[in-house]
Amino acid sequence: MDRPITRRGTLALTATLALGAVATSLPAIAADYPEKPVTLVVPYKAGGSTETMARLYSKALAKELGQSVIVKTRPGGGGAVGATEVAAAPPDGYTLLFGASSSLLWPPLTQSVEYGLDSFDYVGQVTEYQQALVAKSDAPFNTLAELIDYSRTHSLNYADQSPMSRMFINYIAAAAAVDWTGIPTRGGGEMVPFLLGGKIDFAYSGGIHNRYSDQTKVLTSMNAGRLLASPDVPSIKEEYGIFMPSQAIIVVPKGTPKDVTARIEKAMEVASKDPAFVEITMKKLKFPVKFVGSKDLTTDIDNAVKAVKMVIEKTK
């Protein structure tokens, strides 16, 4: 004979069914993603190299996701404004950020912002900014070592573009026991005429020097590795054990479902091979197409944080 269901039994059964329904619904949500357009936030002004790449990449990503990907520029604060917006967005995979890893690492380490190092999940890397210290092609030094030797008997100026580049240059100057004077410049657009016009002796470049390869030369790569267009020039990591974060990446707000993140990562890997994206990245910008998945990228970011923290500590 069937036993009667008690009130306790009814509550237990209801709870079990509810949990089962939730567990069943979670994979379905990931499987159906995306069900509406996805927003790709670029934390810089329109017209720059990152926004240019994002416009083309968004089309390839949309093709793989089966939904529109809308590029939204949110410039300000060296990327902090856009990063703040994405960090506060619902962790559902519908708000992504396409930008430089330095925009996510430098502000939380050096100033008060509304996001931290743990505010994002790193989905993938698509390329690498070609950061370098550069000089005019006719400068009386060809390497970082020669620049330092020349500085011992000459007073040199450099383009002071950002707090991070300034701190890294100051680190090198302190380690080499030389003095350099920073001349404030508003990004690469002002740095280039300053350099080519002789107002400064060398400069940090985030990659714009590639457009002036016949008028400039690379003294050292500021990345962890050597640059695509200058494979024979050592990196700053080889010489000083430090390096600047260099990845162009896509991130999502922390807590985004892993299945959704995996879906975006898979789409990113395919989109990175899109001919139009490859054409503009490698031919025009002369950046390498370099896809790195979530797991390896997270490790690379952790290593970058350690390098930046060391520079901050040594230059206080």
Q: What percent of the chain has pLDDT over 90?
A: 85
DSSP tag of 187: H
Helix, strand, coil share of the chain (percent; to 5): 50, 20, 30
Structure tokens at 197: 């016009």
The answer to whether the beta carbons of residues 209 and 218 sit under 8 Å apart is yes
Give the domains, in start order, of the chain with CATH numbers: 30-128+246-314 (3.40.190.150), 132-240 (3.40.190.10)
Would residue 198 be called left, alpha or beta, if left means φ above 0 and alpha means ψ between -120 and 50 degrees?
left
Which range among 24-33, 151-160, 186-195, 304-313 shows the weakest confidence by mean pLDDT?
Answer: 24-33
Q: List, for residues 9-66, the tens digit of each pLDDT value.
A: 444 444 444 445 444 444 445 679 999 999 999 999 898 899 999 999 999 999 999 9
- Concatenated DSSP letters of 72-119: EE---GGGHHHHHHHHTS-SSSSEEEEEEHHHHHHHHHHS--S--TTS
Q: Model confidence over 64-80: pLDDT tens digits?
A: 999 999 999 999 988 99
